[in-house]
Structure 1
């Protein structure tokens, strides 16, 4: 198992969120579509939470946003239960496969102007057969 965490102020991304290139680089289309359904304050909080979750996952993968891993390759959706659901693509998925990742879990919490995300990456132990 590997762990990653990220903490930021909700307003920390305000200037960047106003730039279309930043939104396109960081967020999956599905994340932006969900955010578009919220009012301005909730949208800002939602996108900050997703950014923190992406950072936490990238740290748990051991790359951060380097080695070809870009924030957009870590999509944080919402399961029917309301829990965060992580989908990895491209270099992030390749890194996960190289590590033997079998599951990624994320928890996001907001309090006042802070957002915290913690990611757990579950790895198949060496010598353990994988499921087909």
Structure 2
């Protein structure tokens, strides 16, 4: 068996931090949210961050969530269709601190990337083709 892609990753986030989490991915990074209104209206227990046509984050808010320490899952990487300059401009405009900026290997080769921490404490690697 060979995987063709990661369909989704399910992230637990604190209920009291959902607004900041949603704003980071939607407003600051430019991703679409799906089922967010239904989540806020109490019709669904989770919502999606649409990373691309075939990849989403399932966002499952919980009353209490252990703080991500990087000991079990260190980070997840998202390949984006913007230049590194555009990604850095988004990060700067959002007031988010860059943890690391580098060129790193991944599934399809070496690419420029930047690591940031999202509002729930997860480390996200944004990779670009340029």
TM-score higher than 0.5 here? no
Q: TM-score range by the shorter chain?
A: under 0.3
Q: Which structure has more strand as a fraction of its residues?
A: 2
Query: Normalising by the residue count of structure 2, what TM-score does the alignment of the two structures yield?
Result: 0.27
TM-score by length of 1: 0.27
